[in-house]
Amino acid sequence: MSSKPFYITTPIYYVNAVPHLGTAYTTIAADALARYRRLTGHDVFFLTGLDEHGQKVAQTAEENGMSPQEWCDAIAPRFVEAWELLGITNDDFIRTTEERHKVGVQAFWSALHAGDYLYKGSYEGWYCVPDETFWAEDQLAEGCCPDCGRQVEFIREDNWFFRLSEFQQRLLDHYEANPDFIQPQTRRNEVLSFVRGGLKDLSISRTTFSWGVPLPFAENHVTYVWIDALLNYITAVGYGSDDPQLAERFERYWPAQVHFVGKDIIRFHCVIWPAMLMAAGVALPESVFAHGFLLAKGEKMSKSKGNVQSPAELAERFGVDAYRYYFLRDVQFGSDGSISLESMVQRYNGDLANDWGNLCSRLFNMTGKYFDGIVPALSAEEIAADTPLRAIAEGLPAKYEDAMVRLDYGKALEAAWDLIKETNRYIENSQPWTLAKSEETAVDLARVIYHALEAVRIAALYCAPVMPITSAEVWSRLGLGDIHSVTDLESESRWGGLSAGNVVEKGDPLFPRIYEQ
Ligand SMILES: [Zn+2]
């Protein structure tokens, strides 16, 4: 394959929860980027998966009368189904209990052990089991976990440690030399000040339970679950594998272009993970992008607060495309964002039903009425005529790309919406229904309809990463091929690509209005 590789990851999700709005949010965002990069001709590898080890999983399995593996096997399909439902196009789905992962983790430990980056020490401190996180005495908040506020356990055991403290300067140098490594900027500042404050060596093994990947050189020690999870990004693409095909895969896709993470796990991804890779002599990912929290009425969404609706419920009510659109359009990616059913209904009726759906209905209708449903033929001169639509359509690719490089989905969608809104205005202003009344304005009528159809064809292309189902439908109604097989967005979006003679199908409304709240 000659096209440029582009490797995108979500965090692997903890198998103790079922898919919720938060995990769906990260996954949808990653999927929109994956789809966009496929359209721009990249050889995308999009990875998601499950984090299946750790004390908490073992405990939950036991409470449910299952072995840990049985528990994981029971939960995993729920994630696979949820992502299928939301149109997620991941190329792989890694589970940390898979053999390929174990092999990679052990190869990694062997490399660090050989490089003298590990030592045996004794750990004393506090542990939050639900978060699987260690805390020092002075980090506790009134004796509880500073992250989640729950009870912590005192732990004293022999652990293996990673010499994280030796990496302070190398990390700072890396942040300095790669200003886009941590995004957005606020998160970068947070990490910088944390690392400048000094780093402690990190306990990387546990002996009090066995549900994890054993260290290859130390009996009874299993890998600390957070480290185990981070390694999925390289084990999934073949790190440590003897299989030449998998080794080639690693060569091809690593380093990743972007790790999508929530802002709460940024230290693992921007401090510990790069230090581990440095120690193993493995290249660092190009960037880590941390998104914010979804807030319902100002509060973080959480099960205990009861403000969580399931992705499946929302998708059923609004449709998959509208679901994806709402979260990527209404919440500034990288910041916390408020979400509510009211604003979702508003976005749906305003942007989708009125602007986009209605444009398609009206226009396809008029094509039926005035041209028997056939795209009218225009002279080359008329196709190239200087209309406001052509100007906006020609500026769209650069604006969209610029926004997507920054993962600013809102801005990218706004750029597509500029074209959609202008097309509605253009139809209003040029009044095809008046032009249709006289033979003398037949050429004008054909130009207006053609230009509007062409704008819709192009708008559908740029909506496709976020709203794949309706974009495919619009293309199909325009008599065009499969939009998902486009790999050269630039040439596909060139003005004048719509062929005269294509049969345009009216079809049902793309986004029927929602009346009740
Ligand atoms: Zn906690």
State the distance from the centre of ligand 1 to the C-alpha of 130, rounded, in angstroms: 6
CA of 401 to the centre of ligand 1 (A): 39
Cα 504 to ligand 1 centre (Å): 57
Alpha-helical segments (H) within 270-319 = 273-280, 311-318
Alpha helices in 53-212 (DSSP H): 55-63, 68-85, 99-114, 168-177, 185-196
pLDDT digits 0-9 by tens, 182-209 = 999 999 999 999 999 999 999 999 998 8
- pLDDT tops 70 at residue 307: no
**In this predicted structure, which of 142-151, 260-269, 307-316 has the lowest mean pLDDT?**
307-316
Confidence at 304, pLDDT banded by 50, 70, 90: low
pLDDT, one tens digit per residue, over 17-38 is 889 999 999 999 999 999 999 9
Quote the ligand 1 centre to 305 CA distance (angstroms): 16
Give distance in angstroms: CA of 361 to centre of ligand 1.
51
CA of 147 to the centre of ligand 1 (A): 5
Separation of 152 CA from ligand 1 center, angstroms?
7
- Domain spanning 340-492 has what CATH number? 1.10.730.10
Whole-number Å distance, alpha carbon 132 to ligand 1 midpoint, is 7
CA of 134 to the centre of ligand 1 (A): 9
Cα-to-centroid distance, 127 and ligand 1 (Å): 8
How does pLDDT run across 54-99, given as a tens digit for each residue?
Answer: 999 999 999 999 999 999 999 999 999 999 999 999 999 999 999 9
Cα 427 to averaged position of ligand 1 atoms, centre (Å): 57
333 Cα to the center of ligand 1, angstroms: 25
Domain ranges (residues) in the chain: 340-492
**Of 512, 508, 419, 408, the residue nearest 457 (C-alpha):** 419
Please compute the mean of the pLDDT values over residues 256-273 and round it to a whole number.
Answer: 97
Cα 135 to ligand 1 centre (Å): 9
Distance 96 CA to ligand 1 centre (A): 22
Q: Give me the residues paired with residue 122 across strands.
A: 158
Separation of 68 CA from ligand 1 center, angstroms?
21
| H or E element in which residue 320 lies | helix 320-330
Question: How close is the Cα of 430 to the center of ligand 1, in Å?
Answer: 61
- 151 Cα–ligand 1 center, Å: 8
Residue type, 304: S
Residue 195 CA to ligand 1 centre (angstroms): 22
Span from the CA of 331 to the centroid of ligand 1 (angstroms): 26
393 C-alpha to center of ligand 1: Å?
A: 50
pLDDT, average across residues 474-481? 97
Ligand 1 center from residue 225 Cα (angstroms): 14
Alpha helices in 178-243, H assignment, sequence order: 185-196, 225-230, 232-235
508 CA → ligand 1 middle, Å: 50
- CA 347–ligand 1 middle distance (angstroms): 36
Contacts of 246 (CB under 8 A, 6+ apart): 100, 237, 238
Q: From the CA of 119, how far away is ligand 1's center (Å)?
A: 27
Q: What is the pLDDT of residues 125-160, one digit of tens each?
A: 899 988 888 888 889 999 999 989 999 999 888 999
pTM of this structure: 0.95
Mean pLDDT for the stretch of residues 387-391: 95
pLDDT above 90 coverage of the chain, percent: 89
Q: How far apart are CA 42 and CA 321, in angstroms?
A: 23
Q: Give me ligand 1 centre to Cα 330, in Å.
A: 30
How many whole angstroms separate alpha carbon 147 and alpha carbon 133?
9
What pLDDT is stored for residue 133 in this prediction? 85
| pLDDT class of 345 with cuts at 50, 70, 90 | very high
What's the confidence (pLDDT) of residue 517? 53
Extended beta strands in 210-257, E state: 222-223
Q: Are strands 299-300 and 294-296 parallel, antiparallel or unpaired?
A: antiparallel
Residue 302 has pLDDT above 80, yes or no: no
Percent of the chain residues past pLDDT 70, beyond the cut? 97
- Centre of ligand 1 to C-alpha 227, Å, is 17
- Distance (Å, whole) CA 228 – CA 205: 10
Report the alpha-carbon distance of residue 278 to residue 167 in Å, rounded. 8
Q: How remote is the CA of residue 249 from the centroid of ligand 1, in Å? A: 37
| CA of residue 264 to ligand 1 center, whole Å | 12
Angle at 341 between CA 340 and CA 343, to 5 degrees: 70
* pLDDT for the residue numbered 1: 47
- Expressed in angstroms, the distance from the first to the final Cα of the chain is 49
Report the separation in Å between the CA atom of 157 and the middle of ligand 1, taken as the mean of its atom positions: 20
Q: How far is the CA of 131 from the centre of ligand 1 (A)?
A: 5
